[in-house]
Amino acid sequence: MINTLAMSISERTREIGVLRAIGMDRSGISRMIRLEAVCVAAFGTLLGLAGGLFGSWKVSGLLNGAIPQYSFSPPWPTLALVVLLSLAVGAVAAALPARRAAVLSPLRAVAAA
């Protein structure tokens, strides 16, 4: 995730420079990058959990006839912990790329090719 965010920062150098040039401060840039990272982590986690829950629900439907008294019951507290941990990892992963984006000089960033 850190690598993806770092590549995103390097690809959007001009965009960040323009945002700085029109008045966004360093904390705003840093906040934008952190929010982006948390959104990516949230969407990835939720899509992964939805796919995993759907797959296990379908497999449990197949096992329902083979194993008597089997019922599908997801571990909701564990899944909630996974969501919280992934959001925390997303926020931590954004720290270095956000700092790098915040210290970009607006003029150098806009002039970058």
pTM of full prediction above 0.85: no
- The answer, yes or no, to whether residue 113 has pLDDT greater than 60, is no
3-class secondary structure per residue, the chain: CHHHHHHHHHHCHHHHHHHHHCCCCHHHHHHHHHHHHHHHHHHHHHHHHHHHHHHHHHHHHHHHHHCCCCCCCCCHHHHHHHHHHHHHHHHHHCHHHHHHHHCCCHHHHHHCC
Overall average pLDDT of the 25-45 stretch: 92
